[in-house]
């Protein structure tokens, strides 16, 4: 009985702390949301660029990865996926970014301390900064250019917009393998990201007792750090704030005020696609609905972008399906010392598949693009 009372008291205290954190944003004025182009949808078959991550554990299969769940999340929403190599040159990046309809920065393990000696981390930092500048520039020119960041991508996007070169706004949290729900702020109710969500799903996601939002991060951004940064307040609305296991609040969902940028500290892509038994992922019907809702939302945003490939042949040569999705068990059987948390990963050796983004070539033959029925 005493243990039960202690747990109830602890839960009540956590809920109170969460409410206090959320109150930081209550009553705040929300800027006019970025408007989609009046001309409507430009592309019914969007192609989204997904940034790869350095990965030394792919053995002979490659040296960078995209977790298959990240690709499936977008594909289930109606998009095709092109890898953006994290170690691309500016010319290679321009080639891809000028053709895809939006960009997704996934979660992962990259040290983004600007003074790190890890060469791959430094290259990732440089590439994300280049992509962000490109997306901002395109939006300023009137080409609706969506960007999504999850977990690592969330932290990096906010760090960049905050112009926080030393990564001071990013601090430690105890939120690995941690399923919780979202503590909505007032702006969430009328946000682009949440306003189309069904009442049933919104209510369930908002319940303090739910577990639909899977967190798996040891770093994050405190609401105070966000609030104290002028640039973050100018460019983003905080849509949810949550508590880690120790009751420490962290920003968990944001959307751009003047840009079609979205970021979640938690993982909307995992519920339908990741099956690691160690991960405490909720898989009920509403959890799957939540994942699909966000995937479809971002894909639909990308349909308003004007970019397109010169031909279906060029598009096909750049798509992710030119590489293999490898089950984690295959890698483990080859080398039992290697364990991959993801169910499957695309292991990418960009030198083994000719990519137009690297070669800078374009096929001469153009195939007719047929309208969808």
Active-site residue list: 151, 267
Contacts of 132 (CB under 8 A, 6+ apart): 147, 157, 160, 161
Exposure string over 52-81, b if 16+ CB within 10 A, otherwise e: bbbbebbeebbbbbbbbbbbbbbbbbebbb
Cβ neighbours for 38, distance < 8 A, ≥ 6 positions apart: none
The per-residue DSSP string of 140-165 comes to: HTT----EEEETHHHHHHHHHHTT-T
Query: Cβ distance 42 to 305 under 8 Å?
Result: yes
Is residue 51 within 8 A of residue 97, CB to CB? The reply is no
Expressed in percent and rounded to 5, the helix, strand and coil fractions of the chain are 40, 20, 45
Burial (CB < 10 A; 0-12, 13-18, 19+), residue 277, is: exposed
359: left (phi over 0), alpha (psi -120 to 50) or beta: alpha
């Amino acid at each position: 009985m005493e243990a039960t009372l202690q747990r109830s008291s602890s839960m009540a205290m956590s809920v109170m702390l969460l409410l206090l954190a959320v109150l930081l944003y209550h009553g705040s004025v929300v800027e006019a949301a970025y408007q989609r182009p009046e001309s409507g949808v430009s592309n019914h078959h969007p192609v989204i660029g997904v940034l790869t991550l350095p990965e030394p554990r792919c053995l002979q299969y490659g040296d960078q990865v995209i977790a298959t769940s990240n690709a499936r999340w977008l594909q289930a929403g109606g998009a095709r996926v092109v890898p953006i190599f994290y170690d691309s040159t500016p010319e290679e990046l321009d080639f891809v970014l000028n053709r895809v309809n939006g960009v997704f920065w996934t979660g992962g393990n990259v040290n983004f301390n600007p003074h790190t000696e890890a060469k791959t981390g430094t290259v990732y930092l440089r590439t994300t900064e280049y992509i962000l500048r490109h997306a901002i520039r395109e939006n300023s020119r009137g080409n609706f250019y969506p960007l999504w960041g999850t977990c690592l991508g969330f932290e990096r996007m906010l760090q960049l917009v905050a112009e926080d070169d030393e990564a001071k706004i990013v601090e430690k949290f105890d939120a690995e393998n941690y399923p919780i729900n979202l503590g909505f702020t007032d702006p969430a109710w009328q946000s682009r990201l949440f306003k189309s969500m069904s009442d049933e799903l919104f209510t369930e996601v908002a319940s303090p007792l739910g577990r639909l939002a899977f967190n798996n991060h040891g770093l994050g951004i405190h609401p105070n750090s966000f609030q104290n940064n002028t640039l973050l307040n100018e460019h983003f609305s905080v849509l949810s704030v949550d508590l880690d296991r120790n009751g420490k609040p962290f920003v968990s969902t944001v959307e751009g005020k003047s840009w079609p940028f979205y970021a979640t500290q938690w993982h909307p892509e995992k519920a339908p696609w990741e099956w690691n038994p160690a991960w405490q992922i909720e898989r009920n019907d509403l959890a799957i609905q939540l994942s699909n809702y966000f995937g479809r939302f971002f894909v639909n945003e990308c349909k308003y972008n004007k970019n397109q490939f010169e031909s279906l042949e060029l598009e096909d040569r750049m798509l992710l399906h030119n590489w293999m999705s490898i089950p984690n068990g295959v890698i483990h059987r080859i080398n039992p010392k290697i364990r991959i948390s993801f169910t499957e990963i695309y292991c990418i050796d960009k030198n083994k598949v000719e990519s137009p983004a690297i070669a800078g070539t374009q096929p001469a033959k153009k195939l007719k693009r047929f309208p969808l029925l």
